[in-house]
């Protein structure tokens, strides 16, 4: 019986330790996207992947916050989000019609990294404002 109690105590301590580690890991982790430094194909994939990662994170954090709000607060968050999207698009969007060359591709990569970084900043701001982990 003593061995079983000791085992359960050790198991509980281990579970608490894992739980505390997960809590510490729940802090907002900022990603660094250095896509422009890679070869073109790798850089292009890096920029596209960065957008996917950060848009998914933003959607998750936004919805977590949204579920906790009353109707007025939801309307305010929606309004803030529309303003942010316009600002992000003004800053990061890249449109080009013409012949493709290396400069154009790298400009697109830069626009993708910009979009990912701005989405990450927005995620962090919403997470902080609404205490989302």
pLDDT of residue 98: 85
The answer to whether the CB of 106 falls within 8 A of the CB of 43 is yes
Domain residues of the chain, as ranges?
A: 1-30, 31-130
Q: 4-29 b/e with 16+ CB inside 10 Å = b?
A: eeeeeeeeeeeeeeeeeeeeeeeeee
**CA dist., res. 43 & res. 113, Å (int):** 10
According to CATH, the topology of domain 31-130 is: Substrate Binding Domain Of Dnak; Chain:A; Domain 2 (1.20.1270)
Q: Which of 37, 62, 44, 53 is nearest to 123 (CA)?
A: 62
Token code pair at residue 4 = 């079983």
How does pLDDT run across 59-114, given as a tens digit for each residue?
Answer: 999 999 999 999 999 999 999 999 999 999 999 999 888 888 888 999 999 999 99
């Amino acid at each position: 019986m003593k061995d079983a109690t000791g085992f359960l105590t050790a198991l509980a301590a281990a579970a608490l330790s894992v739980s505390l580690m997960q809590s510490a890991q729940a802090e907002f982790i900022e990603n660094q996207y250095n896509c422009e430094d890679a070869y073109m194909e790798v850089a292009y994939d890096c920029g596209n992947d960065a957008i996917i990662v950060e848009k998914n994170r933003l959607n998750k954090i936004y919805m977590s916050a949204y579920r906790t709000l009353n109707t007025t607060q939801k309307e305010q968050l929606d309004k803030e989000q529309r303003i942010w999207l316009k600002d992000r698009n003004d800053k990061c969007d890249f449109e080009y019609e013409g012949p493709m060359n290396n400069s154009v591709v790298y400009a697109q990569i830069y626009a993708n990294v910009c979009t990912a970084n701005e989405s990450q900043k927005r995620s962090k701001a919403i997470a902080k404002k609404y205490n989302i982990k």
